[in-house]
Amino acid sequence: MYIISPSILSCDFSKLGQQVIETGATKAEYIHIDVMDGMFVPNITIGPCVVASLRPHSKLIFDTHLMINEPIRYIDEFRKAGSDIITVHVEACSDVEATLKKIRESGAKAGLSIKPRTDPEVIRPYLPLCDMILVMTVEPGFGGQSFMHEAVENVKKVKQMLDEAGLQIAIEVDGGITPETIGFTAEAGATIFVAGSAVYKKPDIAKAVEDLLAACEK
């Protein structure tokens, strides 16, 4: 019922392939790929060529989080590179509907994300076009930040909106997720959990994933 999506942003990039292979031997089902453009967020990270290089080395679901302006421009490239889920930010799209439709047309699952200070109401019209909602629990841009407790309210609001619309769409949370914080988000309705530092900064990543899963049930 609960899925851990380790974020490779916290990997040692000189060993990225090896760490992705090792992640395949854990209880993680997804792998989270943070794409940043230095415009929508201050940081710059990974492009489609990295996704394509990793694809032959992993059977995990490639959960691609696009923190880029006008992501509609890059959907086909990420899909071709091997992304299974493509998530875009509502704040980054001038045409949210067209962007989500393009993701689905590409054959990927469509995710829509909100930053912690975005009113969840803004995504209500787009819910039927989504396969996943990503509620950020830090300001996007960097790994290793502290969990924003106030964002738990956003998870609850999204869950309520989905229930009201009769939609069974998974809620993912991302940012500052640890065994200490994951339970708050699970209780609020999240079922997919991104974790960077709480997996890759630990000595035993398989145990780190198990610790997160165990903490969901608390």
Q: Which residues bind Zn ion (CB under 5 A)?
A: 34, 65, 174
Q: Name the residue nearer to ligand DX5 (CB basis): 40 or 123.
A: 40
Enter the tokens of residue 24: 């395949």
Q: Which residue in the set 58, 197, 206, 210 belongs to the binding site for ligand DX5 (CB under 6 A)?
A: 197
Can 131 be counted among the known catalytic residues?
no
CA distances from 45 to 140, 144, 211 (A): 12, 15, 28
Task: For residue 145, state whether it binds ligand DX5 (rule: CB under 6 A).
Answer: yes
CB 20 within 8 A of CB 58: yes
Stretch that binds ligand DX5, among 81-89, 99-107, 136-144, 184-192 (CB under 6 A): 136-144
Backbone angles phi, psi at 138, to 5 degrees: -145, 165
Supply the minimum distance, in Å, between the C-beta of residue 163 and ligand DX5.
26
What's the CA gap between 192 and 137, in Å, rounded? 13
Can 84 be counted among the known catalytic residues?
no
**Cβ count near 81 (within 10 Å):** 20
Task: For residue 118, state whether it binds ligand DX5 (rule: CB under 6 A).
Answer: no
What's the CA gap between 193 and 6, in Å, rounded? 8
Half-sphere exposure of 116 (CA within 13 A, CB side): 15
Q: Name the residue nearer to ligand DX5 (CB basis): 69 or 101.
A: 69
Task: For residue 196, state whether it binds ligand DX5 (rule: CB under 6 A).
Answer: yes
Supply the minimum distance, in Å, between the C-beta of residue 164 and ligand DX5.
27
Task: For residue 42, state whether it binds ligand DX5 (rule: CB under 6 A).
Answer: no
CA distances from 206 to 34, 155, 200, 213 (A): 21, 27, 10, 11
Residues annotated as catalytic (active site), given as ranges: 34, 174
By CB under 6 A, name the binding residues for ligand DX5: 7, 9-10, 32, 34, 65, 138, 140-141, 143-145, 174-177, 194-198
